[in-house]
C-alpha cells in the first residue's frame, strides 16, 4: 500500500474521533467524503461515487459543493444520521503544509436549528436519559431552537420512557454507554430514533445558573449529560438555554402512545396529517409559538384543576370581549417567532432582518398589554407581571438598523445614517466620490465633443473612461492614459479618476468593516435580553392559544366544562369535535353520556357504521379538551378529572409492525387493565373480534367482569356480540346502550342516536334482510341464532369472579387443543360445535363418501378467512353454498 498523503492522514485522524457521523471534509469549494462514508452517502444522496488514487490504493470518494451542501445535509439528518462538519480553519494561501482543519459543529437530528430542518409550529426536542442506582430514570428534553429545558424522573418501566419520548416527538436520545441494553432495544423497537452516547455528566460552571431551581441531584445530573453533549457537538455559545424546568411526570393526564394515535390528537392515523386530527380543529393560533404551545398542551392535558380553571376563566373573558379579542389577535399576527429569534441571538447567527422582526414584535407588546388591561386588569397582570420593558432595546434597534436590511450581515447596507459618526464620514466620502464620477462623464463629453463617451466600472480595472474606436481620433492628445483595448472601444484612466476611485473603494471597504463591527456589537447587546424575551414568548404563546380557544368556542358553540367532585360524567348533547366539522353542517347527531354510580360502564351495541366508535372517541376528546382548559362541544358537560385514558379502538395498521392485530388488541387491553385506576377512562372497541366467536365472547366477558370488579374505571365497551348484553343483569355497574338504526325503503339508515337498553335484534341478520337475502336463508339464520343463544345461556355469569380464576380461564380457553377437564368444559361452553367444526369435518371426510361438490364446499369452508368477514359477507357465503348444494 502506498503511503498516506498528509491530507489523508489528517482526514483519518479526524474521522477516528467521529465514527458515528458522516465527516464532511472541506476541500476548497467542496465537502468531500471518503471511504465508507463516501459509499454510504453516495447511496443515500444518490450522488456519484468517484475515487482518489489508483489501483488498489484507490479510495472511494464523493463530494457536494459547499454552497449547496445544506440540502444534502438536510436529507441525511432527516434519515436520522449525524454529520461532522470539518472546515479549513486557516487561510490556504498562508498555510505551511496541509491546511489546518477542525470539526466546527456536529449536526445531529435532535440538535439542528436551521429553518428548513425543523417545523415552525412544533418543538424540536433532543432527549436524554440517565439511569440511577435506585432504579429511577432522569429524563430531559431540550429544544435548542428555543432554549427550553424540561426534566423529570421516571420509573423503571421502559414504557414510561417510550411514552415521554413519543409525546416529545424526540428525534434523538442521548444515553451513556452502560445504559441498559434491554431497555434500549425496547425503545428502538417502538420508535424511530437516533441514539447518541455521552459519558460525561460532570458539571459545567458556565451553565450552573440553569440548575439552581432543581433540588434533586439526580435531575441536575440528567441535565449535565445533555449539556455536555450539546457543548461537545455544537461547539458554540449556548447561552440561550433556559433555566431547567422540572415537571412531575405524573402531573399530566396520561395517554399512552397507542391511545394518542388512536384518538388522533395531533395527527391522523392514516396519513399523519394535522387536518382531521383534534389539533386541526383547535389550532386557531396566529403565531408559530402559539402553535407549538398548543401542541404541547394537547399532548399533555393537566390534572391540576386550579390551572385548568384559570385557563377556562381566561377563555371566558375572551369570549365576552369579541372586539378586543379580534384586535388582540390582529396584533399578535404581527409578532414574529420570539423564541426562535432569541435562540438565534444567543447562537450568534441572528441577522439584521431578524433584529428588525424582533423590534417590530417588541413594539407590539405595549399594545397587547393595553388591550388586555381594557378587558380585565387582573388578566393583564397574570400574563405580564414582573416582565421587563424593552424600550431601550427598541430604541437601540430603531436608531441603528435600517427598516429593510439585507440578509447578509457582512456586506454592509445595514446601519442607519446618523448612528455612527465615523461611518457617516466614510459614507459621505463614498457618495461624494460617486457623484464626482457621475459628473465626470458630462464634463468629458463636453470637453472632447464625443457624445458616446462613458464612464464605467469593473472589478479588475476599476473606474475607466470608454471611447468607441471611431471616436478615438478626436480625443485630444495626452488627455487620458490608455488602460485596455476592446474590439470596438478603448478604455482610459486619468490620475484624478484613480484618486477618486481609491477614495471610494477605501471608504467602502472601511464602511463594510465598520458596519459589521457595529452590527456585531448590537447583536451582543441584544443577548442581555435573551431571558426576559423567552419569558415574554411564553406569555404570548399562552395568550395566543387561549384566544384561539375562545374563537373556536364561539364559532363552534362549545361550552365551558364543569368539574365535579362526585366523579361522574354527565354530558348532554355531546359532539365529536372533528367529525362534526367534516360532515354536512347540521347532520351531526348529538349524544348524551352518563357515567355515574351504578353506571360506571356502558356496553354499546349497534351495527357497523352506526357510530359506536365515534361515540367513544367523542367522550375521550371532550375529556382531553376539558383538561387542557378548552371549552367543549356539548350543551352541558360535567366531568371528573381523569388521570389516564386507555383506548383500544380498532385499526389494522399495526400489521405493519409485524404483530398480529389480535395480539396488539390483547397487548393494549392488558396495558389498560393493569395500569388503569378508578379515576381512569377506558374505551374498548370490539374487543375479541380478532379471534373466533366463542374465544372472543369469552374474552370480552372476562374483561368486562374484571374491569367491573377490580379496576372500576369508567369504561365504554362497544361490541357486536349481542350475547354480552345480558351481562347487565348481573353486573350492577354495567348498563346497556345501543346506537339505533332503522330501515327506509330497503336501506339501512343509521340514526347515530345512542339510546338506553340493548339493541332488540341481531344486526347481521337484519342487514342481510335489508340486502334482500333469500327469505329461506334469513329465516334459517334466525332459527340458528335462537339455538345458539340458548346454548350461550350456559356461559357462567360470574359477578364476582376472582381475577386469578379469570386469568387461568382465559389461558385455558386460548389453549383449545388440551383436553378440557370437566369444570372447564362447563366454563367454555356446553356446546363445542363451532370450536371443533373443522375437526368434525375432517372426520366427516374420512367416514362418509362425499360428493365432489360437497368436498369442494368443505374445502372452501376450510379455507375461509373468517376473521376478515363481516356478518353480511358471511351470510352471503352461506347463501352461495346452500344454493350450490340444491
Helix 305-320 vs helix 352-375: crossing angle, to nearest 10: 80
Query: Dihedral (C-alpha) 185, 188, 191, 196: value to the nearest 10 degrees?
Result: 130
Stretch that binds ligand ADP, among 601-609, 690-698, 726-734, 827-835 (CB under 6 A): 601-609
145 binds ligand ADP per the rule CB under 6 A: no
For the bound state, the minimum distance from the C-beta of residue 607 to ligand ADP, rounded and expressed in Å, comes to 7
Report d(CA 181, CA 263) in Å as an integer.
31
Nearer to ligand ADP, 585 or 815 (CB): 585
For the bound state, the minimum distance from the C-beta of residue 116 to ligand ADP, rounded and expressed in Å, comes to 37
For the bound state, the minimum distance from the C-beta of residue 587 to ligand ADP, rounded and expressed in Å, comes to 6
For the bound state, the minimum distance from the C-beta of residue 265 to ligand ADP, rounded and expressed in Å, comes to 17
Nearer to ligand ADP, 471 or 608 (CB): 608
Stretch that binds ligand ADP, among 118-126, 402-410, 585-593, 850-858 (CB under 6 A): 585-593
For the bound state, the minimum distance from the C-beta of residue 580 to ligand ADP, rounded and expressed in Å, comes to 8
Q: In the bound complex, which residue of the shown chain has the CB atom lying closest to ligand ADP?
A: 611
610 binds ligand ADP per the rule CB under 6 A: yes
Stretch that binds ligand ADP, among 15-23, 258-266, 584-592, 636-644 (CB under 6 A): 584-592
For the bound state, the minimum distance from the C-beta of residue 770 to ligand ADP, rounded and expressed in Å, comes to 16
Instruction: Give the distance from CA 864 to its chain's centroid.
Output: 41
CB 739 within 8 A of CB 610: yes
Binding mask 487-526 for ligand ADP (x = CB under 6 A): ----------------------------------------
Binding mask 303-322 for ligand ADP (x = CB under 6 A): --------------------
- For ligand ADP, the binding residue among 91, 587, 744, 823 (CB under 6 A) is 587
For the bound state, the minimum distance from the C-beta of residue 259 to ligand ADP, rounded and expressed in Å, comes to 16
CB 332 within 8 A of CB 368: yes
SS3 798: coil
Nearer to ligand ADP, 296 or 689 (CB): 689
Stretch that binds ligand ADP, among 71-79, 120-128, 274-282, 582-590 (CB under 6 A): 582-590
Q: Is 374 exposed, middle or buried (0-12, 13-18, 19+ CB in 10 A)?
A: middle
C-alpha cell at 88: 479549513
Report d(CA 226, CA 228) in Å as an integer.
6
Stretch that binds ligand ADP, among 230-238, 335-343, 606-614, 707-715 (CB under 6 A): 606-614
Nearer to ligand ADP, 260 or 612 (CB): 612
For the bound state, the minimum distance from the C-beta of residue 582 to ligand ADP, rounded and expressed in Å, comes to 7
Q: Which of residues 865-884 bind ligand ADP (CB under 6 A)?
A: none
Stretch that binds ligand ADP, among 348-356, 455-463, 604-612, 786-794 (CB under 6 A): 604-612
263 binds ligand ADP per the rule CB under 6 A: no
238 binds ligand ADP per the rule CB under 6 A: no
Nearer to ligand ADP, 534 or 591 (CB): 591
608 binds ligand ADP per the rule CB under 6 A: yes
Report d(CA 263, CA 622) in Å as an integer.
11
For the bound state, the minimum distance from the C-beta of residue 583 to ligand ADP, rounded and expressed in Å, comes to 5
Report d(CA 737, CA 718) in Å as an integer.
9
- For ligand ADP, the binding residue among 108, 541, 551, 613 (CB under 6 A) is 613
748 binds ligand ADP per the rule CB under 6 A: no
Using left for φ > 0, alpha for ψ between -120 and 50, and beta otherwise, residue 397 falls in: alpha
393 binds ligand ADP per the rule CB under 6 A: no
Instruction: Give the distance from CA 482 to its chain's centroid.
Output: 67
Closest CA to 294 of 166, 123, 146: 123
Number of residues that bind ligand ADP (CB under 6 A): 15
Distances (CA, A) of 729 to 656, 725, 837: 41, 8, 31
| Sheet containing strand 747-756, strands side by side | 254-255, 644-648, 681-685, 714-718, 601-605, 734-744, 747-756
609 binds ligand ADP per the rule CB under 6 A: yes
What 690-693 contacts at long range (C-beta under 8 Å, 24+ apart), as own/partner pairs, is: 690/660, 690/661, 690/662, 690/665, 690/867, 691/662, 691/814, 691/867, 692/834, 692/835, 692/866, 693/721, 693/834
SS3 451: coil
C-alpha cell at 802: 376472582
Nearer to ligand ADP, 288 or 748 (CB): 748
CB 462 within 8 A of CB 498: yes
Stretch that binds ligand ADP, among 139-147, 274-282, 538-546, 603-611 (CB under 6 A): 603-611
Query: Dihedral (C-alpha) 425, 426, 430, 432: value to the nearest 10 degrees?
Result: 10
Stretch that binds ligand ADP, among 334-342, 610-618, 631-639, 761-769 (CB under 6 A): 610-618
- For ligand ADP, the binding residue among 15, 500, 612, 829 (CB under 6 A) is 612
Element holding 815 (H helix, E strand): none
141 binds ligand ADP per the rule CB under 6 A: no
- For ligand ADP, the binding residue among 241, 255, 401, 579 (CB under 6 A) is 579
Nearer to ligand ADP, 340 or 575 (CB): 575
- For ligand ADP, the binding residue among 583, 749, 784, 786 (CB under 6 A) is 583
SS3 246: strand
Stretch that binds ligand ADP, among 137-145, 580-588, 673-681, 834-842 (CB under 6 A): 580-588
- For ligand ADP, the binding residue among 589, 626, 634, 702 (CB under 6 A) is 589
Report d(CA 246, CA 227) in Å as an integer.
16
Give Dmax over CA atoms of the chain in angstroms: 129
Stretch that binds ligand ADP, among 18-26, 75-83, 373-381, 605-613 (CB under 6 A): 605-613
577 binds ligand ADP per the rule CB under 6 A: no
DSSP at 708: I
Instruction: Give the distance from CA 179 to its chain's centroid.
Output: 26
What one-character-per-residue DSSP string does 714-781 give? EEEEE-S-GGGGGGGGT-TTEEEEEEEEEEETTEEEEEEEEEES--SS-HHHHHHHHTT--HHHHHHH
CB 246 within 8 A of CB 219: yes
614 binds ligand ADP per the rule CB under 6 A: yes
For the bound state, the minimum distance from the C-beta of residue 632 to ligand ADP, rounded and expressed in Å, comes to 15
For the bound state, the minimum distance from the C-beta of residue 606 to ligand ADP, rounded and expressed in Å, comes to 6
Nearer to ligand ADP, 591 or 778 (CB): 591
Element holding 458 (H helix, E strand): strand 454-458
For the bound state, the minimum distance from the C-beta of residue 267 to ligand ADP, rounded and expressed in Å, comes to 18
Closest CA to 38 of 59, 7, 15: 59
Instruction: Give the other-Cβ count within 10 Å of 60's Cβ.
Output: 18
Q: Count of residues for the chain?
A: 886
268 binds ligand ADP per the rule CB under 6 A: no
Report d(CA 557, CA 516) in Å as an integer.
55
Binding mask 750-779 for ligand ADP (x = CB under 6 A): --x---------------------------
Backbone angles phi, psi at 4, to 5 degrees: -65, 140
Report d(CA 77, CA 194) in Å as an integer.
10
- For ligand ADP, the binding residue among 588, 694, 763, 766 (CB under 6 A) is 588
C-alpha cell at 242: 433556559
606 binds ligand ADP per the rule CB under 6 A: yes
CB 698 within 8 A of CB 828: yes
For the bound state, the minimum distance from the C-beta of residue 257 to ligand ADP, rounded and expressed in Å, comes to 22
Binding residues for ligand ADP, per CB under 6 A?
579, 583, 587-589, 591, 606, 608-614, 752
Amino acid at each position: 500500500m502506498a503511503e498516506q498523503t498528509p491530507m489523508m492522514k489528517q482526514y483519518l485522524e479526524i474521522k477516528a474521533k467521529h465514527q458515528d457521523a458522516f465527516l464532511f471534509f472541506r476541500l476548497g469549494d467542496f465537502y468531500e467524503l471518503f471511504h465508507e462514508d463516501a459509499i454510504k452517502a453516495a447511496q443515500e444522496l444518490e450522488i456519484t461515487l468517484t475515487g482518489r488514487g489508483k489501483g488498489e490504493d484507490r479510495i472511494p470518494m464523493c463530494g457536494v459543493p459547499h454552497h449547496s451542501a445544506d440540502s444534502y445535509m438536510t436529507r441525511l439528518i432527516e434519515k436520522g444520521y449525524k454529520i461532522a462538519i470539518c472546515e479549513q480553519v486557516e487561510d490556504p494561501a498562508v498555510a505551511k503544509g496541509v491546511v489546518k482543519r477542525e470539526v466546527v459543529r456536529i449536526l445531529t437530528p435532535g440538535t439542528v436549528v436551521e429553518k428548513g430542518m425543523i417545523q415552525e409550529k412544533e418543538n424540536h426536542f433532543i432527549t436524554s436519559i440517565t439511569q440511577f442506582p435506585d432504579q429511577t430514570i432522569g429524563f430531559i428534553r431540550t429544544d435548542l431552537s428555543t432554549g427550553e429545558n424540561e426534566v423529570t424522573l421516571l420509573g423503571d418501566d421502559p414504557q414510561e420512557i417510550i411514552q415521554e419520548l413519543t409525546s416529545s416527538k424526540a428525534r434523538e436520545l442521548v444515553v451513556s454507554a452502560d445504559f441498559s441494553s434491554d431497555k434500549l432495544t425496547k425503545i428502538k423497537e417502538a420508535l424511530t430514533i437516533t441514539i447518541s452516547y455521552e459519558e460525561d455528566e460532570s458539571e459545567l460552571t458556565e451553565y450552573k445558573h440553569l440548575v439552581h431551581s432543581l433540588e434533586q441531584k439526580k435531575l441536575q445530573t440528567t441535565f449535565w449529560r445533555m449539556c455536555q453533549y450539546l457543548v461537545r457537538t455544537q461547539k458554540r455559545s449556548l447561552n440561550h438555554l433556559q433555566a431547567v424546568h422540572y415537571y412531575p411526570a405524573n402531573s399530566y393526564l396520561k395517554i399512552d402512545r397507542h391511545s394518542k394515535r388512536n384518538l388522533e390528537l395531533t395527527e391522523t392515523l392514516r396519513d399523519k396529517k394535522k387536518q382531521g386530527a383534534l389539533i386541526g380543529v383547535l389550532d386557531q393560533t396566529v403565531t408559530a409559538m402559539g402553535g407549538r404551545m398548543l401542541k404541547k398542551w394537547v399532548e399533555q392535558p393537566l390534572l391540576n384543576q386550579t390551572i385548568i380553571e384559570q385557563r377556562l376563566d381566561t377563555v371566558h373573558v375572551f369570549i365576552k370581549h369579541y372586539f378586543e379579542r379580534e384586535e388582540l389577535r390582529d396584533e399578535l399576527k404581527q409578532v414574529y417567532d420570539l423564541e426562535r429569534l432569541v435562540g438565534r441571538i444567543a447562537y450568534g447567527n441572528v441577522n439584521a432582518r431578524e433584529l428588525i422582526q424582533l423590534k417590530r414584535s417588541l413594539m407590539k407588546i405595549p399594545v397587547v398589554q393595553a388591550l388586555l388591561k381594557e378587558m380585565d386588569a387582573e388578566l393583564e397582570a397574570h400574563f405580564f407581571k414582573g416582565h421587563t420593558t424593552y424600550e431601550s432595546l427598541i430604541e437601540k434597534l430603531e436608531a441603528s438598523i435600517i427598516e429593510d436590511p439585507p440578509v447578509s450581515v457582512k456586506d454592509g447596507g445595514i446601519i442607519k445614517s446618523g448612528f455612527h459618526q465615523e461611518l457617516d464620514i466614510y459614507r459621505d466620502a463614498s457618495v461624494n466620490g460617486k457623484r464626482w464620477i457621475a459628473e465626470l462623464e458630462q464634463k468629458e463629453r463636453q470637453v472632447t465633443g464625443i457624445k458616446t463617451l462613458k464612464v464605467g466600472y469593473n472589478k479588475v480595472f476599476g473606474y475607466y473612461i470608454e471611447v468607441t474606436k471611431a471616436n478615438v481620433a478626436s480625443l485630444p492628445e495626452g488627455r487620458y492614459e490608455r488602460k485596455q483595448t476592446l474590439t470596438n472601444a478603448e478604455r482610459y484612466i486619468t490620475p484624478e479618476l484613480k484618486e477618486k476611485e481609491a477614495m471610494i473603494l477605501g471608504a467602502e471597504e472601511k464602511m463594510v468593516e465598520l458596519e459589521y463591527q457595529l452590527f456585531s456589537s448590537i447583536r451582543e447587546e441584544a443577548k442581555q435580553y435573551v431571558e426576559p424575551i423567552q419569558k415574554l414568548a411564553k406569555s404570548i404563546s399562552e395568550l395566543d392559544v387561549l384566544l384561539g380557544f375562545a374563537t373556536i368556542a364561539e364559532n363552534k358553540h362549545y361550552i365551558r366544562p364543569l368539574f365535579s367532585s362526585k366523579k361522574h360524567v354527565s354530558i348532554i348533547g355531546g359532539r365529536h369535535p372533528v367529525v362534526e366539522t367534516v360532515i354536512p353542517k347540521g347532520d351531526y347527531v348529538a349524544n348524551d353520556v352518563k357515567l355515574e354510580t351504578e353506571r360506571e360502564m356502558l356496553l354499546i351495541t349497534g351495527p357497523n357504521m352506526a357510530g359506536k366508535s365515534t361515540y367513544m372517541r367523542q367522550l375521550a376528546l371532550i375529556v382531553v379538551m376539558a383538561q387542557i382548559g378548552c371549552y367543549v362541544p356539548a350543551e352541558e358537560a360535567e366531568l371528573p378529572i381523569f388521570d389516564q385514558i386507555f383506548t383500544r379502538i380498532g385499526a389494522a395498521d399495526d400489521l405493519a409492525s409485524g404483530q398480529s392485530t389480535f395480539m396488539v388488541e390483547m397487548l393494549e387491553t392488558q396495558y389498560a387493565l393493569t395500569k388503569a385506576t378508578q379515576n381512569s377512562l377506558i374505551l374498548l372497541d370490539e374487543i375479541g373480534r380478532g379471534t373466533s366467536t366463542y374465544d372472543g365472547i369469552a374474552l370480552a366477558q372476562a374483561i368486562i367482569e374484571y374491569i367491573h370488579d377490580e379496576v372500576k374505571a369508567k369504561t365504554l365497551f362497544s361490541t357486536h356480540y349481542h350475547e354480552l348484553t345480558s351481562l347487565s343483569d348481573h353486573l350492577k355497574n354495567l348498563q346497556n346502550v345501543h346506537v339505533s338504526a332503522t330501515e327506509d325503503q330497503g336501506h339501512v339508515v343509521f340514526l347515530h342516536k345512542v339510546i338506553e337498553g340493548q339493541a332488540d335484534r341481531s344486526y347481521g341478520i337484519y342487514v342481510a334482510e335489508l340486502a334482500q337475502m333469500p327469505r329461506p336463508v334469513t329465516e334459517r339464520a334466525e332459527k340458528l341464532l335462537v339455538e345458539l343463544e340458548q346454548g350461550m345461556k350456559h356461559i357462567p355469569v360470574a359477578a364476582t369472579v376472582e381475577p386469578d380464576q379469570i386469568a387461568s380461564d382465559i389461558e385455558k380457553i386460548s389453549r383449545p387443543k388440551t383436553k378440557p377437564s370437566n369444570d372447564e368444559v362447563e366454563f367454555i361452553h356446553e356446546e363445542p360445535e363451532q370450536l371443533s367444526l373443522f375437526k368434525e369435518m375432517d372426520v366427516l371426510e374420512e367416514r362418509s363418501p362425499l360428493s365432489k361438490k360437497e368436498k369442494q364446499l368443505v374445502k372452501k369452508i376450510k379455507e375461509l378467512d373468517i376473521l376478515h368477514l363481516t356478518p353480511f359477507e358471511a351470510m352471503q357465503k352461506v347463501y352461495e353454498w346452500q344454493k350450490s348444494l340444491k
